[in-house]
Structure 1
Amino acid sequence: MRVLVLAALAMLIVGCMAQPKPEANLFTRIGGLPMLARLSNQTLDIVSKDPRTARSFEGVKMVNLKQSLTNFLCIKTGGSCEYEGETMKNAHADAHITTAEFEIMVEVLRERMDINGVGTKEKNELLKILAPMKRDVVSG
């Protein structure tokens, strides 16, 4: 009987060890708040000065926008931040963002992720999360 109990216990231990650990959420894998803040700041610094997209940022308090975007990305990637901004539709309703402007911002974000060493899987996951927002952002 004792041998059976030990064998069952050994099988239980081996079974538990063989279970793969659940994968960390995107927020953790992408680098957490420091990486999201870096991506937000760098992306907005570039697009706010690019002649093709700068008009959308005229009169905008960039410090507030950078923090808001960082918090938004935090929430979307599974972090525990508070996002108190508008919905994407409301935030961009009067901005008349064009498809070209939207695509430039996505391209800059993609470049920033590459430059900052974000993995391909994480980059694709984030872009997949953000892609459906195009219909709420683009209106011009």
Structure 2
Amino acid sequence: MTSAALPEVSGSFGEKPTLTFPAGAAPADLQVVVLSRGDGELVEAGDEIEVHYLGQSWNGSVFDNSYDRGSSISFPIGVGSVIAGWDEGLVGQQVGSRVLLSIPSHLGYGDRGVPQAGIKGGDTLVFVVDVVGTSS
């Protein structure tokens, strides 16, 4: 069985990425691809992680990104304060890495979605995340 193709990502660490989606359905499971590996500290569960990110629905529109705002965000990781796909996909990454996450709805916003953000129930979410820093 072949795994579903993932979107191509243009741009490098710190730059707003652009996603090009393949034909076909989104993967059914969480996909985590390190696009470029950093050489900083490892992110551990319970750390405060600082990231830049772009989020887009599979074959849909961008629903959020920090690049246009010009500031990164920080939040606790691996402790259930963000969607499960982020907790599972970002713990263990190195600071300075750019990571592509394809997050099925059961690890994202489920059947209810986030209508005000343009995320429909059942949507697969794709994020490009630049891990800027971590602190415990």
Indicate the structure (1 or 2) with the bigger Cα radius of gyration. Answer: 1
Normalising to structure 1: TM-score of the pair? 0.23
Normalising to structure 2: TM-score of the pair? 0.23
Going by fraction, where is strand more abundant, 1 or 2?
2
Going by fraction, where is helix more abundant, 1 or 2?
1
